[in-house]
Amino acid sequence: MALRHFLTLNDLSISELNKLIDRAIELKAMQRQGVIYEPLKNRVLGMIFEKSSTRTRVSFESGMAQFGGSAIFLSSRDTQLGRGEPIEDSARVLSRMVDAVMIRTFEHEKIERFARYSQVPVINALTDDYHPCQLLADMQTFVEHRGSIQGKTVTWIGDGNNMCNSYINAAEIFDFELRVSCPEGYEPDDRLVAECADRVQIIRDPKEAARGAHLIATDVWASMGQEEEQKLRLQSFKQYQVNPEIMSYAASDALFMHCLPAHRGEEVSEDMLDHPTAVVWDEAENRLHAQKALLEFLICNR
Ligand code: CP
Ligand code: NVA
């Protein structure tokens, strides 16, 4: 297989994505049974973090360890990247030493540039525009709880951010209807919305958007890098909290997801993460299994 990257969900075909999800479910079962499976023995993952992380770092690092390999945490604070070494040079050097590179950064263009100069697979672990690894976990979680998402209705309530853009990619690829409910001025990428107009619509009223939905998902109102807008955003988004009342408009078997970390009392009510529809802890755990399936696919070419 030629060198493959995972910068957005579009880098994999629907059949590859479905296989990855099935494999993630299989790897999860093996993990539960205590099976030792080390396809990445002696392999190394470089992990570049220019933003904070709990789930992403721990899931990639644990995944590599469980697979018999290892991971190196690289923060821009302590590497030459933070002192202005060009991304192209860093890509050429690092990719001669490790077997795959995972990057969490700001501008999406930066990870594209890294990938162009890399000899090994590059994985997007969140940029300002996309968070495809989270979508692998979300899709796995939906399949585990409800089966195929094809033909279902998903409602995104809140900011049209990186997660929302990745949900738009998912709607197109996995073939579900996506309703985005956000305040004016906080829409997802308009080019993406226009391209996927057959699958995506913006519905301002969150209750109307939630009506009959099979999955409701949300995320923080101010993402990493938008800390200064936090106060203004609290005002703009106050009608867009996901709470049990909003969930009562959804289908009777609806699920609730949040990529976490959550701000209780803001985008979710205090009780929402403990609501019977919430599957957020499974969703968080599935980051581990879905990314193990992704690493196996990209590094072992299977
Ligand atoms: N959901 C997610 O990516 O979490 P972290 O920021 O903790 O990695
Ligand atoms: N939209 C959030 C997701 C965090 C996992 C952010 O970019 O900060």
For the stretch 96-134, pLDDT in tens is 999 999 999 999 999 999 999 999 999 999 999 999 999
Give distance in angstroms: CA of 219 to centre of ligand 2. 7
Q: What average pLDDT score do residues 206-229 get?
A: 98
% of the chain residues with pLDDT over 90 = 98
Q: What integer best gives the mean pLDDT of the chain?
A: 97
In this prediction, residue 302 carries a pLDDT of: 62
In a domain, 263, yes or no: yes
User: Is residue 134 annotated as a catalytic residue, yes or no?
Assistant: yes
- Tell which atom from ligand 2 comes closest to the C-alpha of 53: 5
What is the CATH number for 231?
3.40.50.1370
26 with 50, same domain: the answer is: yes
258 in contact with ligand 1, CB cutoff 6 A: no
220 with 198, same domain: the answer is: yes
14 with 59, same domain: the answer is: yes
121 with 209, same domain: the answer is: no
In this prediction, residue 301 carries a pLDDT of: 82
User: Is residue 131 annotated as a catalytic residue, yes or no?
Assistant: yes
Identify the CA nearest to 293 among candidates 83, 74, 96, 22: 22
Number of domains in the chain: 2
Compute the distance between CA of residue 137 and CA of residue 143 in angstroms, rounded to an integer.
10
Residue 205, class by beta-carbon neighbours within 10 Å (0-12 exposed, 13-18 middle, 19+ buried)? Answer: exposed
148 with 273, same domain: the answer is: yes
Compute the distance between CA of residue 83 and CA of residue 12 in angstroms, rounded to an integer.
34
55 in contact with ligand 1, CB cutoff 6 A: yes
218 in contact with ligand 2, CB cutoff 6 A: no
111 with 164, same domain: the answer is: no
In a domain, 1, yes or no: no
163 in contact with ligand 2, CB cutoff 6 A: yes
Give distance in angstroms: CA of 123 to centre of ligand 1. 14
Compute the distance between CA of residue 269 and CA of residue 264 in angstroms, rounded to an integer.
6
Query: By residue range, what is the domain housing residue 79?
Result: 9-130+284-300
273 with 178, same domain: the answer is: yes
Pick the catalytic residue: 233, 259, 289, 291? 259
Phi–psi pair at 241, nearest 5 degrees:
-80, 135
Element housing 258 (H / E): strand 255-258
In this prediction, residue 109 carries a pLDDT of: 98
Q: What would the pLDDT profile of 182-204 be if each residue is shown by its tens digit?
A: 999 999 999 999 999 999 999 99
Compute the distance between CA of residue 249 and CA of residue 247 in angstroms, rounded to an integer.
5
User: Is residue 259 annotated as a catalytic residue, yes or no?
Assistant: yes
User: Is residue 104 annotated as a catalytic residue, yes or no?
Assistant: yes
Give distance in angstroms: CA of 199 to centre of ligand 2. 23
56 in contact with ligand 1, CB cutoff 6 A: yes
Q: Which pTM value belongs to this model? A: 0.98
